[in-house]
Chains A and B, each alone.
Chain A
């Protein structure tokens, strides 16, 4: 039984990945990666400046864009995964098969994580090769930054799945996921910090560890100029909590949701 269900999870995941490939979302993401990398690599020589000499500093510039890439991955590869089965009526084909709803969610989750991880892996691979070429060295902090980015992806995907299981339209789920991470969480984090509450539990604030590991910041003096510096261990726990809780809530909501339209 378990073997059959694992096989079903892998089947669902394989067809979801095929969806991302054929709908050109993945190609779109690769184009965005190319633009980011091209601009960061091309601008300094064009403006007559040199690349940083230390690999961490070199990669740090790229890591500043990792957060937005993760948000784009969550938006393109997760936000519509569940809601589209209802809205586009493909559920009428999929659901009468002898497959548990949790198996469908797990398969789709696996595909979202795999595809997002593939994009980030490509990004860090190209950036590391560029760092080696420009500085002649690489560092283990680059690997840590990559690992943190993967963990942050889990949190984004988990929350995107909750929205996808609750909302009734793919557009609403996609737009809300994007703006939640790009804007709303950042505003909440900033307001909390102003209110003297460290926003360690806000995923976008916790995602600071992705670039901080390459160029550690300082909190600065106490007072209005103090900045929040997330702790790596706490942030990883926060990411894991969002991923696990998000996945469980998405499964429960998707199981309860009826296809009656």
Chain B
């Protein structure tokens, strides 16, 4: 489905030289970042990288020390009401008013956004069903677990069918099944043309849900690009092969000489770890070399994703500097 219209510059999110200082500590240096309409961007980085600071500036919870955050061409600082009108946000795990029910909470958010009462009712039922909270719609939130609050947070972010979703660790507090459900939900949203800006610690989650990745460390953007391109261009990958019979020293010498094999290491009796450069072609060549030598391969799989490798490489590099 085509992406929904955004501002004249075409970016639902545009951050220009965005920075934030807390006293002498610089949480964010000068972040430049744009997200195209309909794209789902994973915002990655270790703790303290500046992810939450960026998201809080984007949602007008804190002020930038320098630079500008614009959503659909509207400066969040200057006109937060208009800038946030097409945005749904989940920031950390928000607390809700314990004396309200999910339906009342959504009605509150809907009325603040100027939605008609019948639309609020219809959409509330819809989004609560989507996040599997339908049967809790009338219960007081004070009885809810963290996971249930997180589902409600996602429901309120979806209530007004926003063009841009800003999600800070959206699966935090959920059990594995809940995490999978929310990932599917986010994927379906980008399929419907929505733009998603999502921070996460979970690389696998980002790889599954997002089209693009931006990697942040020490308040600086290290890299931004499509998940596919970054995965392909991510230097070396580690693969593990297991064999029916332990490989001989000769087998290992032959494999070590295969183009793309940077290093190999015997792991236990019947397994070998390979560090391979040269992307998917080189990975295939190593497997072919094993088969050519008559080695009986029982499994051949990557250890960690290419994105993980890229993440670790870039973060380590940035930490050294």
Contacts and interface: CB of A to CB of B under 8 A. Distances in A.
B109 A91 contact: no
A100 B61 contact: no
B61 A97 contact: no
A259 interface: yes
Given A92-B61, A95-B61, A260 B56 contact: yes
B108 A11 contact: yes
Contacts of A88: 95
B255 interface: no
Contacts of A23: 99
Interface string A222-234: 0000000000000
A96 interface: yes
B91 A15 contact: no
B203 to A, nearest CB: 25
Interface residues of B, number: 34
B92 to A, nearest CB: 6
B153 interface: yes
A135 interface: no
A12 B97 CA distance: 13
Contacts of B83: 98
Nearest to A92: B94
Contacts of B60: 95-96
A90 B80 CA distance: 19
B112 A99 contact: yes
A93 B96 contact: yes
A258 B63 contact: yes
A19 B109 CA distance: 15
Nearest to B63: A258
B59 interface: yes
B82 interface: yes
A196 interface: no
A88 B95 CA distance: 7
B102 to A, nearest CB: 12
Interface string B50-69: 00000010011111000000
Interface string A60-101: 000000000000000000000000000011111101111110
Nearest to B114: A4
Interface in A91-125: 91-93, 95-100
A99 B61 CA distance: 12
A162 to B, nearest CB: 21
Given A18-B100, A259-B62, A98 B95 contact: no
B207 interface: no
A189 B263 CA distance: 83
A98 B81 contact: yes
A97 B63 contact: no
Given A96-B89, A98-B85, A11 B111 contact: yes
Contacts of B114: 4, 7
Interface string B113-154: 110000000000000000000000000000000000000010
Contacts of A259: 56, 61-62
A15 B81 contact: no
Given A8-B112, A11-B111, A258-B62, A100 B80 contact: yes
Interface string A247-259: 0000000000011
B81 A99 contact: yes
A89 B113 contact: no
A100 B112 CA distance: 10
B171 to A, nearest CB: 17
B59 A95 contact: yes
B114 to A, nearest CB: 6
B63 A98 contact: no
Contacts of B100: 15, 18
B86 to A, nearest CB: 9
Interface in A23-51: 23
B236 interface: no
Contacts of B111: 7-8, 11
Most buried by A among B82, B89, B95: B95
A11 B100 CA distance: 14
Contact of A260 (B61, B89, B156): B61
B84 interface: yes
A258 B61 contact: yes
Contacts of B87: 96
Given A89-B95, A92-B92, 18 more contacts: A8-B112, A15-B97, A19-B97, A19-B99, A22-B99, A90-B96, A91-B61, A92-B94, A93-B105, A96-B59, A96-B166, A97-B112, A98-B112, A100-B80, A100-B81, A259-B56, A260-B61, A260-B62
Closest 4 CB pairs of A and B: A92-B94, A22-B99, A96-B89, A89-B95
15 contacts: A7-B114, A11-B108, A11-B112, A18-B99, A90-B95, A91-B61, A95-B59, A96-B59, A96-B87, A96-B89, A96-B91, A96-B166, A97-B84, A100-B81, A260-B62
Interface of B: 22, 56, 59-63, 80-85, 87, 89, 91-92, 94-97, 99-100, 104-105, 108-109, 111-114, 153, 156, 166
